Amino acid sequence: MSVEQLRHLLAGVLNAITAAHAHSTKAKELLDDYRRVIVEAQAQARPWLPAELARAVAQIDANHLRLDTVRNLLAEYESRM
């Protein structure tokens, strides 16, 4: 495989990581909207929020960190080529 082919494939992976990050950002925004709707609907001092909501947001944050790490490592690798 030539360096140019490798760069082309690497660019595709970086684009996919960027797209995955954008999709998970949108998912987090939707979960935040969901949280707001639940709190507003209940309108009480201690609203009930499903435990899954906090876990989903935490998982998205963890995935963002992983995606950022992979993107940075690949960008560093690309710069060395």
pLDDT at 39: 87
Residue-wise pLDDT for 5-48, tens only, equals: 999 999 999 999 999 999 999 999 999 999 999 888 888 777 78
pLDDT at 81: 84
pLDDT at 28: 96
8-state DSSP, 27? H
pLDDT at 41: 84
Let me know how long the chain is: 81
> Contact, 12 vs 4, CB < 8 A?
no
Residue-wise pLDDT for 62-79, tens only, equals: 999 999 999 999 999 988
